[in-house]
Structure formats: C-alpha cells, structure tokens
Homo-oligomer: A and B are copies of this chain.
Amino acid sequence: MKNNTKAKEAFELPLNQILDGDCIDVMNSLPENSVDLIFADPPYNLQLKGDLHRPDNSKVDAVDDDWDKFSSFETYDRFTKAWLAAARRILKPNGAIWVIGSYHNIFRVGAAMQDAGYWILNDVVWRKSNPMPNFRGKRLTNAHETMIWASKEESSKYTFNYEALKSLNEGIQMRSDWVLPICNGHERLKNDEGTKAHPTQKPESLLHRILVSTTNPGDVVLDPFFGTGTTGAVAKKLGRDYIGIEREADYRKVAEKRLKNIRKFDNESLQVSTSKRAEPRVPFGQLVERGMLQPGEELYSMNKRHKVKVRADGTLVGVDVKGSIHQVGAALEGAPSCNGWTYWCFKRDGKQVPIDLLRQQIRAEMTERPN
C-alpha cells in the first residue's frame, strides 16, 4: 500500500522477476527504501562447512577444533551481517523482515539483527505437525523452526493486519506459535529425476500467514534466498509484487516454471477483515452539528453511574467535570483513559442507546458517498 511510488519512479524496481546473482550484490544494486517486506530463509550453516559464503576466499586448514569452530562461526557471522545490512538498506522506513532458521544459526542471526538496528517484534515458532523423528533417540524430536519478525527500526510503523489474523484463528488473537505441516505431497516440487528439487522447500501455508498478516495488496516482497520460489508463488496469489534473488540456476529454473502457472486470487477474496482503527475518524461534535444529539441533551454512562449534558461545541459537562467525551469518561471513572464512544449512551423512546451507533450511521453514509 501507500508510498511506494516515489522509489519506483526514480528506479524501476524489477518486480515479479527472479534475479540471478549473489544476494548481497543484487540487493546493493537496488534503490534504498524501496521494499515493503523481506522474507529470508538463509543457509542454516548446519555443519559449518567452509563452502558457505566466504568473502575473503580463504581456505581454513583446520588444525585445532576450537580454533576452527571459532573461525567458522566468524565466517558465518560476517556473511550474516553483510546480507542483513544490504537488506536493511533497501527496506522502506516502515518496512519489516522475516528470517527463518533453526538452532544451528538462528541465535547468531537474531543477535546480528539486533546489532544491525532491526527491532524484533515477535519470535514465531513454526511447530511442524509432521516432523522427522529423531531416529537414534539421543535428543528430542526437532519439531520446530524459529522465525524472527522485525521492523527496520524501533520507530517503524510496521504493517500488522491484526483482525485478519484473528479471523484466520476463528476470532481468537493469533499466538506466536503456529502449527503447520511441512511441505510434502503434491506441493513438494520435484526435479526431472523425480527427487526433491530443493532440500528445504517451505510450505505455502507458512508464507500465506506471513504475507496476509504483515503486508497489504500491492506491497513489494523481496526474498534474497528465493530457492524454488515459495515466497513468489504466495505473493502472486495474494496480489503482492515479489522480487526473488537466487544464484543457483537449477532453482531459478524450477521457480520460473512454478510461477508461470500461478494465478492471482480475485480481488474480493483478497479483502481481509480490518480493525476500527482503519475506519475514518468522526469527531463527536459532528453528532451535535447534524442534530443527531441536541445541546442540553443528557448522556448516561454505560454503568448508569454518571449523567452529563451535551454542549453546543461537542463537549460534555457534568458535576465538576467538563471536556471531551473521552476526558469526562476518564475523569469520572478515575481511569487513565476512556473510549467515550463506547462509554456513553443517550435515551431514545425510553431506551439507552450507545452513541457509537450514531457514529456508525455517519460512517455508513460516508461509504455510500465517498468524498
């Protein structure tokens, strides 16, 4: 949504494409402040092999275990810092990032994110409903992966579709632990030999929840470790623009083919539940101006303990208090704040009616005739 036009004008973003190359180089070639969301599934560094990403190209001759271990972590950390910095540069000021990992790498990644200035919003556990068991019985079944959701900086006004997520969860606030199956069956992409095309293909359900919750239609979503393109596939279905970066030709090929066959859902289905916050603000004074409430008319608190009078300027006056509907409600309740819209009622035909009903009438009129 919103202010993505400026950057696009200055430098046409390569939308809905898969870019070939090292993700750090490619991200550095993109304009700063141009991307709404980044989803990153970086190498997990499972065995700390030297073949990962090695900026200095030096080959480590392991002589001593401790030293080798240290240098390997260091190499991984350098790589992590580099791609996180490149990613942060291209994020819009209100942009956000998701990174997924396992215990092998996620602690280093999370610390690097905090050090880079990202502001962690939640860590989210993907609890796999069908994980691989621990065959040797030497440890617990490794049944989850960890995702870190962070904004570009502490002050970022990040996107969070609270109501949509609540709807996805049958009316109960979504928690930080998500139960979803791993990617297998028909969804799991195979290569020409019939074996899996990518070792760690993520399920579309995971990306669905991420994109529905933290992006809006039309947003630009970038994935620096695109793989077989799950991020792009879900983004396309959901009417978001994607940018994929992948240096392995085999993966790009599989992803291209996959994306070609994806169709966007129709617009109506992409509408999600919104919160009251998103609705237009209606000043209380408007109810008086429009004659929906008369100056001098009495309002009653929900709990029937308090009575006040409406004044011509849309303020309320009671015993020893006057001010806005919110201020007077808070003062009478001795509360730090009060939502006057849901606190006050008026009388019609002998019945108590919440004033919020009048606001809803005005809002309904506004949507009938916008502007």
| Interface residues in chain A, defined as those with a beta carbon under 8 Å from any beta carbon in chain B | 51, 53, 57, 59, 65-66, 69-70, 73, 102-104, 106-111, 113-115, 117, 120-125, 127, 129-131, 133-134, 137-144, 146, 148-149, 154, 160-165, 167-177, 179-181, 187, 203-205, 208-209, 212, 237-238, 265-266, 268-273, 275, 281, 283-286, 288-291, 294-296, 309-315, 317, 322, 324, 333, 335-338, 365-366, 368-369, 371
Q: A143-B175, A144-B175, A273-B315 are in contact. List 5 more A-B contacts (CB 8 A).
A: A122-B139, A122-B140, A141-B174, A180-B289, A266-B296
5 smallest CB-CB distances across A and B, nearest first, come from A107-B110, A168-B285, A269-B295, A143-B175, A103-B123
Q: Could you say which residues of chain B place their CB within 8 Å of the CB of A285?
A: 167-170
Pick the contact of A171: B73, B324, B369 (CB < 8 A). Answer: B324
Instruction: Tell me the complex Cα distance, A161–B313, Å.
Output: 10
Q: Could you say which residues of chain B place their CB within 8 Å of the CB of A130?
A: 365, 368-369
Q: Could you say which residues of chain B place their CB within 8 Å of the CB of A296?
A: 265-266, 268-269
Pick the contact of A289: B125, B205, B290 (CB < 8 A). Answer: B205
Contact B177 A177 (CB under 8 A): yes
Contact A272 B122 (CB under 8 A): no
Contact A140 B268 (CB under 8 A): no
Pick the contact of A284: B53, B73, B170, B311 (CB < 8 A). Answer: B170
Contact B141 A173 (CB under 8 A): yes
30 sampled A-B residue pairs with Cβ under 8 A:
A51-B336, A53-B336, A103-B122, A106-B110, A107-B108, A107-B111, A107-B114, A122-B142, A125-B125, A129-B366, A129-B369, A131-B369, A137-B173, A137-B275, A140-B174, A142-B176, A168-B288, A169-B283, A170-B281, A170-B284, A170-B285, A172-B283, A180-B289, A181-B365, A205-B290, A208-B312, A265-B294, A268-B317, A271-B317, A273-B315
Contact A127 B53 (CB under 8 A): no
Q: Could you say which residues of chain B place their CB within 8 Å of the CB of A208?
A: 288-289, 312
Instruction: Tell me the complex Cα distance, A121–B140, Å.
Output: 8
Instruction: Tell me the complex Cα distance, A86–B68, Å.
Output: 23
Residue of B nearest to A113 (CB): B107
Instruction: Tell me the complex Cα distance, A65–B161, Å.
Output: 29
Pick the contact of A268: B69, B104, B309 (CB < 8 A). Answer: B309
Shortest Cβ distance from residue A344 to the other chain B in the assembled complex, whole angstroms: 14
Residue of B nearest to A366 (CB): B129
Instruction: Tell me the complex Cα distance, A114–B137, Å.
Output: 23
Shortest Cβ distance from residue A284 to the other chain B in the assembled complex, whole angstroms: 6
Shortest Cβ distance from residue A53 to the other chain B in the assembled complex, whole angstroms: 6
Shortest Cβ distance from residue A93 to the other chain B in the assembled complex, whole angstroms: 15
Residue of B nearest to A310 (CB): B269
Instruction: Tell me the complex Cα distance, A283–B209, Å.
Output: 13
Contact A313 B164 (CB under 8 A): yes
Known: A103-B110, A114-B108, A337-B53. A176 touches B141 (CB 8 A): yes
Instruction: Tell me the complex Cα distance, A237–B59, Å.
Output: 43
Instruction: Tell me the complex Cα distance, A7–B172, Å.
Output: 54
Q: Could you say which residues of chain B place their CB within 8 Å of the CB of A173?
A: 133-134, 137, 140-141
Contact A73 B209 (CB under 8 A): no
Shortest Cβ distance from residue A168 to the other chain B in the assembled complex, whole angstroms: 3
Instruction: Tell me the complex Cα distance, A214–B212, Å.
Output: 40
Known: A289-B209, A311-B268. A170 touches B283 (CB 8 A): yes
Contact A137 B125 (CB under 8 A): no
Residue of B nearest to A367 (CB): B129
Shortest Cβ distance from residue A159 to the other chain B in the assembled complex, whole angstroms: 11
